[in-house]
């Protein structure tokens, strides 16, 4: 699964890299984005790429309560096209989730040790995602809410040393088709949801257990610790 990630890159660089316009997205550098928090998402609106802030944890349009979204932070790439919570979004509401790193944990006895996966140059990459709109009440406010999920796939040999799942990371060549709400070739879409080749490697750092609490969101979360 993918349960936490980072987006430390400045807004203008993200907009340039994803060739997107800013809609509702504003942020400070984020070191520990957690489920039910808001984060930037790239989607197509009025035939243009837009960067928009959404709530992490997809709430299906038919859900009776927003709490269902906390269980929908990830969607398995192997079954995403068929699962009732995701199949409508897979057809028409696909998105990119900009990130420049993500965390996974390995349990050692009672301790959960976090590891940070990032590119050697710390540049952003695009995790495959889906978004949905749901109308209801969250924290006393009732209006249409947009939310998203991150699609996962099997790990490659490198990342599998820590966890058996990883985010499905899309190559730039696939972005246009993935975002196109009119593109409906299900087999071709699912072929995009594969592990990175081992030569497209991440650096994997053992980092501070501060990241274990979603209350902590500072550079100390990615501080490398000795193994």
- Which pLDDT score, from 0 to 100, does residue 24 have? 67
Known catalytic residue: 199? no
Cβ contacts of 61-70, under 8 Å, gap ≥ 24: 61/88, 61/132, 61/133, 61/134, 63/134, 63/136, 64/136, 65/136, 66/134, 66/136, 66/137, 66/138, 66/145, 69/36, 69/134, 69/147, 70/35, 70/36
For the segment 101-160, what is each residue's pLDDT rounded down to a tens digit? 999 999 877 888 999 999 999 999 999 999 999 999 998 999 899 999 999 999 998 888
Known catalytic residue: 95? no
Enumerate the domain spans of the chain: 4-100+123-204
- Which pLDDT score, from 0 to 100, does residue 183 have? 96
The residue annotated as part of the active site, out of 2, 95, 132, 221, is 2
Per the prediction, the chain carries an average pLDDT of: 93
What are the start-end ranges of the H helices in the chain?
11-17, 87-92, 175-179, 186-191
- Which pLDDT score, from 0 to 100, does residue 215 have? 95
For the segment 59-75, what is each residue's pLDDT rounded down to a tens digit? 999 999 999 999 999 99
What is the pTM for the complete model shown? 0.95
- Which pLDDT score, from 0 to 100, does residue 128 have? 98
- Which pLDDT score, from 0 to 100, does residue 200 have? 73
The residue annotated as part of the active site, out of 95, 104, 132, 221, is 104
Give the other-Cβ count within 10 Å of 7's Cβ. Answer: 21
At the top level of CATH, the class of 4-100+123-204 is alpha beta
- Which pLDDT score, from 0 to 100, does residue 111 have? 84
């Amino acid at each position: 699964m993918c349960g936490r990630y980072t987006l430390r890159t400045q807004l203008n660089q993200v907009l340039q890299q994803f060739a997107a316009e800013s809609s509702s997205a504003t942020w400070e550098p984020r070191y520990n984005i957690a489920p039910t928090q808001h984060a930037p998402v790239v989607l197509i609106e009025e035939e243009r790429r837009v960067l928009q802030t959404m709530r992490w944890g997809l709430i299906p349009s038919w859900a009776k309560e927003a709490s269902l979204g906390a269980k929908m932070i990830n969607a398995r790439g192997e079954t995403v096209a068929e699962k009732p919570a995701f199949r409508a979004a897979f057809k028409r509401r696909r998105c990119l989730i900009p990130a420049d790193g993500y965390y996974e944990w390995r349990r050692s006895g009672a301790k959960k040790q976090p590891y940070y996966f990032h590119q050697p140059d710390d540049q952003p990459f695009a995790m495959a995602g889906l978004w949905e709109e749901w109308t209801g009440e969250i924290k006393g406010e009732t209006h249409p809410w947009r939310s998203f999920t991150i699609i996962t796939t099997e790990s490659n040999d490198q990342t599998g040393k820590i966890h058996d799942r990883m985010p499905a990371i899309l190559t730039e060549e696939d972005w246009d088709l993935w975002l196109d709400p009119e593109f409906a070739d299900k087999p071709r879409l699912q072929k995009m949801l594969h592990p990175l080749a081992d030569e497209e490697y991440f650096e994997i750092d053992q980092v501070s257990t501060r990241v274990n609490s979603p209350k902590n969101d500072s550079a100390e979360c990615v501080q490398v610790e000795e193994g």
